[in-house]
Amino acid sequence: MRKRRKKRPDPPVPVDTSRWSQASRRSMTCELIGDHYSDRTLSCRNCRNAFVFSAQQQRETYEVRKAYIAQQRCLCPQCWPQRLRLVDELKRLRSRWARDRAGVKRDPQALRRWRELLAQAPRYGLRRDRAQCAMVERLLAAALPPVDA
C-alpha cells in the first residue's frame, strides 16, 4: 500500500495594489483585501456548484485584466463557456434582425430560439432585457397562426 503524499499548499500570492485599476484603488474594498490573495470558494449562479476562485486567478483578474476589486466571479469554469456561447448567439440574432427584419419576422424557429436565449440570460449573470423579450413575444404571436380552443 502506497502512502499518499500531502499536497503542499500553494505559496501565498502577494497583493500589488499599484497594479489595480484606479477605481479599485479608490474603493473601500481595497482596505479589506490584506497582503495576500487567498483562495475563495464560491457558488455558481447557474448550476449552483461550488468552485474555487484561486489566489492566482484573483491576481490575474485584478492586476492584469484590471477588473474592479469588488467584482466576484459568478460562474464556474464549466458554465463560463456556455455564457460566452449564449452571448455570441444573441449577438448573431440581433445582427440578423438589423440586416433582415422581414426575414426574421417570418422565421418562428429563430424567434423561439431568441426567446429561449433571452430567458436563459439572467442565469448567466446577464441583464434581463424586458423590452426585447416583449418584442420577440409580439413577433412570435404575429408569426404563428392562432390556435383554436
Q: Is 125 helix (H, G, I), strand (E, B) or coil?
A: coil
Has residue 72 been placed in a domain? no
Q: Are residues 83 and 138 in the same domain?
A: yes
Dump pLDDT digits (tens) for 85-129. 999 999 999 999 999 999 999 999 999 999 999 999 999 999 999
- The pLDDT confidence band at residue 70, using thresholds 50, 70 and 90, is confident
Helix (H) or strand (E) holding 143: helix 130-143
Yes or no: say if 13 and 59 are a contact pair by the CB < 8 Å rule: yes
Q: Are residues 86 and 41 in the same domain?
A: no
Q: Are residues 101 and 60 in the same domain?
A: no
Yes or no: say if 29 and 69 are a contact pair by the CB < 8 Å rule: yes
Q: Are residues 56 and 104 in the same domain?
A: no
Dump pLDDT digits (tens) for 24-46. 888 887 777 788 998 999 999 99
Q: Are residues 36 and 84 in the same domain?
A: no
Q: Are residues 112 and 139 in the same domain?
A: yes
Q: Which domain holds residue 86?
A: 79-143
Q: Are residues 84 and 36 in the same domain?
A: no
Has residue 2 been placed in a domain? no
pLDDT at 149 over 60: no
Q: State pTM to two decimals.
A: 0.74
> Which cell numbers hold the place of 127?
441583464
Q: What is the pLDDT of residue 11?
A: 74
Q: What is the pLDDT of residue 12?
A: 81
Q: Are residues 60 and 83 in the same domain?
A: no
Q: Is 60 helix (H, G, I), strand (E, B) or coil?
A: helix
Q: Are residues 89 and 55 in the same domain?
A: no
Q: Which amino acid is at 70?
A: A
- Angle at the Cα of 134 from the Cα atoms of 121 and 104, rounded to 5 degrees: 85
The fraction of the chain above a pLDDT of 70, given in percent, is 90
- Angle at the Cα of 33 from the Cα atoms of 28 and 37, rounded to 5 degrees: 150
Q: Are residues 110 and 137 in the same domain?
A: yes
Q: Are residues 83 and 137 in the same domain?
A: yes
